[in-house]
Structure 1
């Protein structure tokens, strides 16, 4: 299960890298929110499925005590916050959802051995984040102040 979720997450993250960059430069359109009481609330949007996959990856990282590069961890944390906001999760709701996924992943007793399928899933996700953080431009250095005489 973790492998399937991780594979879906890798594909979704790879596909969303370009669209997220494009969305960042596109001004938001005016939208109208409509409440539909007959809507199927059990049909989760794709973003929530991706968030669940991210939670599963983070759960494996936590259970297996895998150390992540700080830049990758920061990128994952930013995506998690963004996806939780898109799903209208406040901080307690997001944490509760993560804890539920963590409990499910614990039940599967992930194989933490280097090269195992579970570790390969984590490696695939972190590789996507590594490529994204490597491709991101470094912030411009602030010009040095010239002392006035």
Structure 2
């Protein structure tokens, strides 16, 4: 089994996509992609966070929130990263699961929930991280791609 691993840190407030591409050999049995991150819940509530919450509440509800509503809203937030996988630009699926570690297995015989079975025949595997919200500064993440080659 061959393995490709990359890691990084995301800044607070980052929203966007991060793509990784790996060249695959011709004879493949299975691909496993594992994406994990830390710091899901807000570690420190700043005055700026409180003000953003109050502003959003006023805009959507039309009144000022009470303190317990501010706390409820802030505690309901979480860092969110989803994962899509492509092979030679063919879409294989997306993991929207509410997990800090997403493990995706794709082969001709089986595939994780949200993905399709697929026969890999060389080319380029692309893994895209869809980062919707990062609540904490220096939020670490890691991507591990494992490939099982035919014997």
TM-score above 0.5, yes or no: no
- Tell me the TM-score normalized by structure 1: 0.20
Could you say which structure has the higher helix fraction? Answer: 1
- Tell me the TM-score normalized by structure 2: 0.20
Could you say which structure has the higher strand fraction? Answer: 2
- Structure number with the bigger relative contact order (C-alpha 8 A, sep ≥ 6) is 2
